[in-house]
Amino acid sequence: MSKNVCMFVWNHFTNDARVLRECSSLVEAGYNVDLIAIHDRKNPQLKKKEKRKEGFTVIRVNNQFPLLQMLLGAARRLKKSIPLQLLALVILGLGLWKLTVITLLVAVLLGLFVTPKARTFMVRGYIASQMVKYGLKKKYDIYHSNDLNTLPQGITCAKILRRKKLVYDSHEVQTSRTGYNSPIYGIMEKLYIKFTDVMIAENHTRAKYTEDLYKLYPQVVHNYPFVVKPELSQSVNLHEKLDIPSTEPILLYQGGVQVGRGLDKLIEAAPLFKRGVLVFIGDGRIKPQLEKMVKEQGLEDRVKFLAKVPVEDLMHYTKNAYLGFQVLNNICFNHYSASSNKLFEYMMSAVPVIACSFPEIQKVVESEEVGVCVDSHDPASIANGVNYLLDHPEERERMSLNCYQAREKYNWNNEKEIFIDIYKKLA
């Protein structure tokens, strides 16, 4: 009899390649999988519930708290009408005590519900409660929490309300990553992992870090992509799409446009590139800053931006590139210890990389000879790496051929066996 799996993820599940791979592999191995994610009210085309072609079901919970919206609306209306209320009270002579009561009520509403922190806390609590509700609607045998922000939901369903198995799949270093600087995350993780049956980490550097913190060495499942052969499929012509001369090499960054990924350093390095156009494919918080930076420096012909594309289509864009960038900055241990899915996506498309000299990434790049490692904090070092491959096309071609061999090793077909074996041992 096949087992039912309930998986939680704290995103909209539109471009989460790792979760897609894990859900697909579980279905392939005979498990029934429901993935509980978050709906995006700004994207009306995103379905609240969908049956994926890979065989699992996605359920998206509301990301808007109706009661909170009602209270905020009432508070805003009250705030706007306070002068009129005060005038009415004076005219009608209702007395000081009634004025005091109304003033206090308005203050309570504004104080509790309008502050951004209170609003965020309530919305997140509402999302988590919905996840728990859907996690209890069926008889699941195994619960799977992706990252720390869904682990409380997993514990509530699997351990507090039902006696079931719980997998904690940590895609990041929760105690040292951008935006997670409070010590509370370490306290939470140390407490929560005691309720889990197995913990998964992305690589051995991160697993050792976890062992040093909690005396627990997680199972390791690398973040390798599906095996694809983009050279056999039709590509999107990026030169035409972005009006780039066909003689100019495309120097590609694909992925989230976020802090700490060395993207500002790439723009600073762009004027030092002997040839080529720097192309960013992706969206994120600092994209407007980067676009402003390009405009201020007059680099519109040397730097182009393209919105993110569906993960299943990305390879058709990637293979246009002469080289790809993975230049994380060492702003936290999460970045320093990353294996980087981008690195392996470039490799799948036979695109050599300019990469940061961090242990997991450097180990792959140098052992497989698929790129050049640089100082990702130094635009001059990045430019030197780029210019080396521009000046030595025969070396770039050799590295490209090495990518074909390396992708047979660093792919999900091999890694999913380890992942499924973890599940089999939970029985």
For residue 259, give both structure tokens. Answer: 């802090």
Residues 369 and 264 in one domain: yes
Residues 237 and 306 in one domain: yes
Give the residue from 5, 7, 53 showing the smallest Cα distance to 30. Answer: 5
pLDDT tens, residue by residue, 4-60? 999 999 999 988 989 999 999 999 999 999 999 999 988 888 999 999 999 999 999
Residues 105 and 251 in one domain: no
pLDDT value for 235: 77
CATH for 19? 3.40.50.2000
Split at pLDDT 50, 70, 90, the class of 91 is very low
Q: Taking a C-beta distance cutoff of 8 angstroms, is the pair 389, 360 a contact?
A: no
pLDDT value for 182: 85
Residue range 216-221: mean pLDDT, rounded? 97
Residues 251 and 328 in one domain: yes
pLDDT value for 116: 74
Residues 59 and 70 in one domain: no
pLDDT at 268 over 50: yes
Residues 78 and 169 in one domain: no
Verdict on whether the full-model pTM lies above 0.75: yes
Q: Any bridge partners for residue 36, and if so which?
A: 8, 59
Range of the domain at 97: 66-118
Number of structural domains in the chain: 3
Cα–Cα distance for residue pair 216/195, rounded to 1 Å: 13
Split at pLDDT 50, 70, 90, the class of 97 is very low
Q: Taking a C-beta distance cutoff of 8 angstroms, is the pair 340, 326 a contact?
A: yes
Residues 346 and 369 in one domain: yes
Cα–Cα distance for residue pair 23/17, rounded to 1 Å: 10
Among 83, 100, 118, the domain boundary falls at: 118
Residues 406 and 420 in one domain: no
Residues 94 and 15 in one domain: no
pLDDT value for 75: 53
Residue range 180-206: mean pLDDT, rounded? 94
Split at pLDDT 50, 70, 90, the class of 122 is confident
Residues 327 and 255 in one domain: yes
Among 78, 99, 118, the domain boundary falls at: 118
Residues 207 and 178 in one domain: yes
Kindly report the average pLDDT of the chain as a whole number. Answer: 89
pLDDT value for 227: 85
Residue range 90-113: mean pLDDT, rounded? 50
Residues 104 and 133 in one domain: no
pLDDT value for 340: 84
pLDDT tens, residue by residue, 272-309? 999 999 999 999 999 999 999 999 999 999 999 999 98
